[in-house]
Chain A
Amino acid sequence: MATKIATRETDERFGYQSFSIGEFTFSRDEYFAYIHWPTGQHVMSVDAFLRALQRDVAWDFFYGIVNFDNVLGTMNHYGKVDLFAGRFNEAYRKAELDHQETFVTEQIRPLFKSMLSDWTNEGFDPFASPAETGTAFGSKHGNNDEAVTRRRVTAERMVAVPGDEALRTDDNGHPINRQFADVAQDEPELHPAPGYENEVCGFNLFAYLSRSQVTWNPSVVAVCKESLYCPTTEEYILPIMHGNDRVEWFIQLSDEITWDVEDRETGAKRAKVVMRAGDVAAMPADIRHQGYSPKRSMLLVWENASGDIPEMIAQGKIPTVPVTF
């Protein structure tokens, strides 16, 4: 495991800090993020880089692999994280130019948080759709720490249960999104008998989602043991390619998303999946996927959060598909 402590220094020309961890270094200028490692280097639009970094930080490295693009990414081992370049890219592997280092999460998490904070300028919100935020480009000006440190919703039982996650309202900073102006805002009628007020619970999930300020950010709204409903609102492109370490399910609640599905290891194209309202599809555990949503849409992402699954999949003890028929 890499032990070299993360370091940082400021570039005088553009005002941004450069960061290093292990043998990886990260720097940015007005347009691009630059990543170097002993056997290669990579450049990404800083706009796309920050949108990907925002998800990786907010989800604490998520389930499985967060590919920033087809070269750079992280793989979560839940306590440790691999930072890699070219590991899931067949050409890099063949040329033996891929590179990977493993860090304890406590080491890489603060570095990624610092980089996200330092590189995000005032007026740019990496979670917002491109039509609803300013530019990521230019020399360093201000910050948007309020946006990049948003609290992630994680209900224990269900949103709107007394003591659990609250509903979204105009008053708590959640106006209805411009693309969901036509979504009904009625709430279920609740008629609890005296003494059962805490158990007769319900809420309008569609109205709740219509008031989400962010895109491509699954958050937990309902729980059945390790079964987590993680709905999210999607607009434009998922800023990462998510490589699964378990089966994941999508239920399209509204509108339409097209998914590009690639082989998890090589990046070879496997399928396109077009999902419309009411469609249900599994993402197998051996692929990676990236979604395109032309209109803001509601997607129910469903996860089995069991910590045992990645190991069982890796050892071939359970299949990479949810059902066979």
Chain B
Amino acid sequence: MEYRTKFGSLDSHDRGRVEPIDDDPRRYAFSNLFEVAASSKPYEKVAVAKNLQYAIEAIRAEGTSQWRVADHDETALVMDGEVTVELLDLADPNAVASGTEGSIGLDGDPKGTPMGHAVAGRGHMVLLPAHRAYRFAAEKPSVILLQTIQGRDTVERWATICQTMI
């Protein structure tokens, strides 16, 4: 028997659902990350999962992002398309204050030493090391799932993205 593994994409995703028996579907914060990215602006950081300070963001990658940096490791998992991740060893060691949660945007082209880049396709995960600046580029609309801490640019719109009714 030949098995077909079904992944989702921006163009093709088939959302499941909560079928409540004795519960409120909102308690499950049920969304679909492709649906979220399909209706997001490029590089908008929309939280699809949150556990106290920690967050997972669904990001629509399209064109080139700004440079960002965090005080902690993050990971980027490409769920659809192809994304180039550029890394920069920042000249300013204090670009992000110690203890900052989540990433912060950096203006323009920050000074530093280019560290190289990774080209990641569907299913590929790339490390975004603490204190290193990064930016994304995607020729076609792509989707990144970002493991991080909720930060100043994290967008929350649960009522829009989640199942609210039976």
Contacts and interface: CB of A to CB of B under 8 A. Distances in A.
Interface in B113-130: 113-127, 129
Interface stretch (A75-83, A112-120, A247-255): A247-255
Contacts of B162: 325
Interface string B41-59: 0000000111110101000
Interface stretch (A14-22, A44-52, A138-146, A176-184): A176-184
A322 B49 contact: yes
B122 A206 contact: yes
B115 to A, nearest CB: 4
Interface residues of B, number: 71
B123 A278 contact: no
Contacts of A93: none
Contacts of A1: none
B117 A191 contact: yes
Of listed A205, A229, A279, residue having the most chain B CB within 10 A:
A279
Of listed B2, B32, B34, residue having the most chain A CB within 10 A:
B32
B149 to A, nearest CB: 7
A304 B87 CA distance: 27
Interface in B127-151: 127, 129, 132, 145, 147-149
Interface of A is mostly: mixed
A223 to B, nearest CB: 7
Interface string A210-228: 1000000000011111110
B22 A270 contact: yes
A65 interface: no
Interface string B5-35: 1111000011111111111011111111111
A254 B7 contact: yes
8 contacts: A180-B5, A224-B147, A247-B51, A277-B8, A281-B29, A282-B27, A303-B51, A323-B156
Interface of B: 2-8, 13-23, 25-35, 48-52, 54, 56, 72-75, 77, 79, 85, 87, 89, 113-127, 129, 132, 145, 147-149, 156, 158-159, 162, 164
